Structure 1
Amino acid sequence: MTYLRTAAGALLAALLLALLPATADAAERPGVALSQSQGGKGGEITVSGSGWKPGALLMLLVCGQGTPGKGVIGGTNSCANTDGRAATVDAKGAFSQKLPVAEPPKPCPCVVHVAGVTGQQDVVDVAFTVAGHPTAPLPESSGPGALRVLTSARLEGSSGILVRFGAPARREVVVTLGNLGQAAIKDPVFEVGTSHGVFAAQYEERQWRGTIEPGRKALVKLPVELTPGAHGDYQVSVRYGGQVIVEQPWGVGRPWGVTLFWLLLAVVVPAALFRIGMAVVDRVRPPGPRRPRRSGRAGQSHRPGRPPRAAGREARPASVPAATAGDEPTAVLPWFTPDSAPSENSPTTKGQS
């Protein structure tokens, strides 16, 4: 009896452990529902969802060549992008948004493609029929074409301060690819190119390291780089097996640091040339007429407001000779006369007598 109870308890625990992960996955997986499964061009449907991350921004599109659970072949190139709508998830993880029915550029089977833009990167595709739109079988999944785009591609990364001064801008093309073939794909080689205006894209090979098993998907990141000083609207393309599987626009700002550098250079260089030219002119300019040398004592400068001395006048000697008899008497102290003899009435004479 005890043995049976132990066995029953172990079996019940195993069942609970097996069911709990599935229940958690189902609860964490976002869901999408449509107000109707079919509509004609010009109509409108309501797309609602639950289980999404609060505050996430979602993109809603009607796409061709799509299959629920397998994604859209060709990514957003197979979708009616001009008629897409954006939705914001509320605090409860739900949303509801009107979506106009439009004909995608690719034939059906069609889906309503709901993809997270910011805050959440999950993707949900719900089958939808566009009345009157052509229907065609999906491309065969064989050979290198077995890789298919499951989510819309995006560019990740940011530009540093050096890009403002002409450094090459760098990004990463991030896309989820699924292997719809029967064999595993190991270390696939992609071609990444950028085009600008009317110029064709220049492709370079990029090898992704990893293996994608049949029926599996993988997040692929491929680096892309522009030439130094490039700016404007660019188109990033990814090719695999000779077919373009991803096209993503990329807007690059103008490197204003380079413009500022040239403006400063246009001011500094002329100023420096002007200073050099003035220095050369001062050096090669002939000397002007010399001023007449003033006569008088050597080394004596003329003070303004004082008339110069006569040319024939001799300079006064530096030392003054002793006073002579013809000169006027000089005032001296009454008790000391160095040049006169002592008188009879002086105290010194009386003391000696």
Structure 2
Amino acid sequence: MPLRALLPVLLTCSLAAVGSVAAHAAVTGPAVGHATAGHAVRASGADAKPAVTVSERQAGKGGEIIVKGTGWRPGTLLMMLICGRSTPDRGVIGGTNSCANADGRAVTTGTDGGFAKELPVAEPPVPCPCVVHVATVTGEQATADAVFVVAGHPVAALPENTGGGRLAVLAATRLEGGSGILTWFGAPPARRLVVTVGNLGTSPVRDPVFRVGTAHGVFAPQWEERQWRGTIAPGGKARVELPVELTAGAHGDYQVSLKYGDKVLAEQPWGVGRPWGVTLFWILLCLVVPAAVFRIGMAVVDRVRPRPAHAPTRARRRRPARPHSGPRRAPTADRDPSTAPATAAALPWFTPDAAPNSAPSGNRPTTKGHS
């Protein structure tokens, strides 16, 4: 077949092919575009990070600020706190122990992942720099911080960032020290947490700040910051001693934990005996106080009770007569009655001189009758 005869056929086939491709693109184009847009929306939602803003950057104690958040998961319970010794890049140094926990507020995010809530301004227990710290209470962990200045609150420099230093425990952890006699009567038990740590990083660690936590039973540990003075060179090790103290009257099984940064380095159990001196004191108090009250009450009753007008006197006990050791004297009739004991009262119907026929006295002459 000559070439001129084939040209119309080839041109017709090419136009048909181009039309089919255009039609396919027209049919599939919107669907592909919709899928691409949906993927972009999902990616933007997944890449969104929680953020927090405050209505005022500075306020004094007793005031109120409005905290707004975006990018949170819908229906999430959050806790808002004012924390000291914190920056958005380094977070809250010391955990919630650096925050004004008593003045915190809880808020639940809406369906769009946002919220707006008033927060009272309070002074944290540590110096500033301060932030408004928002964190999830349940579910996946998420936090966000906003810089905030508490007017009139002291400001101190943050601990030095250790950079590339990494500490690890190289030996067994132990508790040293003992309890004194005051602990037996309820004084706070105290020990020293001794641990050998080594620097596995490439930078020296200067004056590291550890966190020591004590937990009783199933309760969460209570963390306290303990700074160790010294420098641990890369590849070096050091013996670290940190004080640990419980509350007054504490007893039972405790768990002591050591944390550096966000990593728990060691855990050590601690069994604390019961302060039996306190029990003995309460037992004695329950015995002595009622006895003292009873005696005081009896003394008051004996003093205020009425007494009869003529109270009978008690008869005196007569002493037994002593045996006479010397010769007995014969009774004399001429003894003067005035010299008789005053206790011997004379009978009213008889006197010695009034007797008609009194016996003659040995010193007077006997009278004779008339002859």
Q: Give the TM-score of the pair, scaled to structure 1.
A: 0.45
Structure of greater Rg: 2
Q: Give the TM-score of the pair, scaled to structure 2.
A: 0.43
